[in-house]
């Protein structure tokens, strides 16, 4: 039986293909349409999925349309039809449809891809139908919701509103605000921000997040006199600090409610890799899937229906590019020229390049950060991440756990002086560990690089430029190389 999971018509559309319980393919729509965070499906994506499996016998949809319609009316967004049968018919998809609640599909995407058979599941995002934070007790195949916080109290909406306040794109550039936080003074605006927006409820009140304002429409009006670059860095720092304090309250409550040692974290806010490491203060093990946001909910919708764990989950689920270049050749080039692209094997699901659609560079070179930021047309303050052989990670980073294969945690670097290209202002790095079982071809490349240079890591950033999706197929690879004048090895 062929089942397609679909998340679309909001932001970051995606599609997942299952044959019975086997996950065959998953991709964001943007990789095919070339529109960053494309909210809609497109013909090329559908055609690719159709080649993989044929048309589906069943579609699992990532939220409850009628409940969303009610929320939209309640929120003053007017009547919106949300007729998904009609929406899907635009793409010639005419199969029975099952729908699941937004936070349920987030929870299923996170838990059923985890290696745990019991866990506490915490989902934090901007807004589902009404839910903004949910906590679940997971036991075997069962997911039981034990807490929910509702719109308009939302950590995600708060973070997005401040993203917009700093002149960035809400629902897209929250990661830039997170990067800016390291340059700000978190104390300067903290008191004022708390006074204007946040309530930290007494612990007896069973809701860890309460806000004084509905931030759904943003807060561009807040402190209009604060417009300098440093003002924005300080807003970012205070926002991040408030998020971290709230996140700790959520974790404390989740721990109290479930008493589990395993935490599974999902929803778009699980991409806050600066806040995430604190989870290890409360839980022994933490799992965050590579696509915890709505784009992972296409997988989650099917898993909510099937209630099956995926054994040995891999993020390499997208379009395939046949591997041709020997790793030795790539390392030769890197030693000589310091920077190159790689686009080979199956594309990663989620926002991070994990070695198959990556721009790689020598992390030891002091000029590399500037050069890569120039190629990618990004702000100079933006940091880059390292991919490191797993067994060496603790030698160079204060690892809270052995494996961080999806770059979900920022971690203190022990030797920032040696690796200027991959440390942020606060000497942290968003580390990707590459173990023997993770990505065999990328692992081999790192092993050869290490044998030749004595350095067990490479700078690893996504193969795109600012505002564009990562490259997808071989044609994108040729075009990118031609446009930006850098070789991309396949
Ligand atoms: Fe969500």
Ligand 1 centroid vs 267 CA: distance in angstroms?
Answer: 5
Ligand 1 centroid vs 230 CA: distance in angstroms?
Answer: 31
In eight-state DSSP terms, residue 295 is G
Ligand 1 centroid vs 91 CA: distance in angstroms?
Answer: 23
Nearest to 119 by CA among 142, 148, 99, 100: 142
Ligand 1 centroid vs 140 CA: distance in angstroms?
Answer: 24
Instruction: For residue 92, count other CB atoms closer than 10 A to its CB.
Output: 10
Ligand 1 centroid vs 124 CA: distance in angstroms?
Answer: 8
Q: Looking at the predicted structure, is the pLDDT value of residue 379 above 90?
A: no
User: Which H/E stretch holds residue 226?
Assistant: none
Q: What pLDDT does 202 receive?
A: 66
Ligand 1 centroid vs 128 CA: distance in angstroms?
Answer: 5
| Residue range 223-239, pLDDT digits in tens | 989 999 999 999 999 99
3-state helix, strand, coil in the chain (%, to 5): 35, 20, 40
Q: Looking at the predicted structure, is the pLDDT value of residue 395 above 90?
A: yes
Ligand 1 centroid vs 122 CA: distance in angstroms?
Answer: 12
Q: What pLDDT does 204 receive?
A: 56
Q: What pLDDT does 167 receive?
A: 95
CB neighbours of 148 closer than 8 A, spacing ≥ 6? 103, 131, 133, 134, 135
User: Which H/E stretch holds residue 39?
Assistant: none
Q: What pLDDT does 466 receive?
A: 84
CB neighbours of 30 closer than 8 A, spacing ≥ 6? 12, 13, 36, 37, 38, 469
Ligand 1 centroid vs 209 CA: distance in angstroms?
Answer: 17
- Give me the percent of the chain exceeding a pLDDT of 90: 90
Whether the upstream peptide bond of residue 152 has omega within 30° of 0, thus cis, is: yes
Longest dimension (CA), the chain: 62
| Residue range 88-107, pLDDT digits in tens | 999 999 999 999 999 999 99
Nearest to 211 by CA among 256, 274, 265, 157: 157
Q: Looking at the predicted structure, is the pLDDT value of residue 205 above 70?
A: no
pTM of the predicted structure, to 2 decimals: 0.95
Structure token digits, residue 420? 């200027």
Nearest to 48 by CA among 98, 4, 1: 4
Confidence of residue 309 (pLDDT cuts 50, 70, 90): very high
Q: Looking at the predicted structure, is the pLDDT value of residue 203 above 70?
A: no
In order, the DSSP letters of 266-292 are ESGGGG-TTTGGGGGGT-SEEE--S--
- CA–CA dist 113, 290 (Å, integer): 10
- Average pLDDT in the chain: 95
Ligand 1 centroid vs 478 CA: distance in angstroms?
Answer: 34
Nearest to 282 by CA among 249, 325, 233: 249
Show the beta-strand stretches assigned E in 312-407: 316-321, 339-343, 345-348, 357-361, 386-389
Q: What pLDDT does 403 receive?
A: 95
Ligand 1 centroid vs 268 CA: distance in angstroms?
Answer: 6
């Amino acid at each position: 039986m062929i089942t397609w999971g679909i998340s679309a018509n909001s932001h970051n559309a995606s599609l997942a293909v299952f044959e019975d319980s086997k996950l065959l393919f998953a991709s964001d729509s943007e990789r095919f349409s070339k529109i960053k965070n494309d909210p809609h499906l497109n013909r090329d994506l559908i055609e690719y999925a159709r080649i993989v499996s044929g048309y589906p016998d069943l579609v699992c949809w990532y939220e409850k349309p009628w409940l969303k319609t009610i929320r939209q009316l309640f929120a003053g967004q007017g009547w919106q039809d949300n007729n998904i049968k009609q929406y899907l018919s635009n793409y010639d998809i005419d199969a029975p449809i099952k729908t699941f609640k937004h936070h349920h599909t987030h929870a299923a995407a996170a838990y059923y891809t985890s290696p745990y058979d019991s866990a506490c599941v915490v989902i934090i995002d901007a807004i589902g139908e009404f839910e903004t934070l949910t906590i679940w007790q997971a036991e075997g195949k069962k997911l039981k919701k034990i807490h929910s916080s509702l719109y308009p109290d939302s950590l995600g909406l708060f973070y997005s509103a401040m993203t917009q306040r700093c002149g960035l794109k809400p629902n897209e550039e929250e990661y830039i605000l997170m990067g800016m936080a390291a340059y700000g003074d978190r104390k300067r605006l903290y008191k004022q921000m708390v006074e204007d927006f946040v309530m930290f409820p007494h612990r007896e009140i069973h809701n860890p997040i309460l806000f004084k304002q509905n931030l759904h429409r943003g807060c561009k009006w807040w402190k209009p006199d604060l417009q300098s670059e440093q003002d924005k860095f300080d807003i970012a720092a205070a926002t991040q600090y408030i998020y971290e304090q709230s996140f700790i309250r959520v974790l404390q409550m989740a721990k109290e409610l479930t008493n589990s040692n395993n935490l599974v974290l999902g929803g778009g806010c699980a991409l806050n890799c600066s806040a995430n490491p604190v989870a290890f203060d409360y839980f022994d093990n933490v799992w965050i899937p590579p696509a915890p946001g709505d784009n992972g909910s296409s997988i989650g919708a099917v898993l909510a229906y099937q209630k099956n764990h995926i054994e040995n989950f891999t993020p390499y689920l997208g379009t395939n590019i046949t591997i041709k270049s020997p790793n030795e050749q790539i390392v030769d080039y890197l030693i000589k020229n310091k920077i190159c692209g790689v686009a080979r094997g199956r594309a990663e699901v989620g926002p991070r390049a994990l070695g198959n659609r990556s721009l790689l560079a020598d992390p030891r070179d002091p000029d590399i950060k500037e050069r890569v930021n120039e190629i990618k047309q990004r702000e100079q303050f933006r940091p880059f991440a390292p991919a490191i052989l797993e067994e060496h990670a603790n030698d160079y980073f204060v690892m809270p756990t052995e494996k961080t294969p999806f770059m979900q945690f920022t971690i203190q670097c022990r030797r920032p002086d040696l690796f200027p290209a991959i440390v942020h202002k606060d000497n942290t790095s968003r580390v990707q560990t590459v173990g023997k079982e993770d990505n065999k071809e990328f692992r081999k490349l790192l092993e050869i690089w290490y044998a030749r240079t004595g350095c067990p890591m490479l700078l690893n950033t996504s193969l795109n430029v600012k505002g564009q999706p990562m490259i997808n197929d071989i044609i994108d690879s040729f075009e990118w190389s031609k446009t930006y004048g850098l070789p991309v090895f396949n």
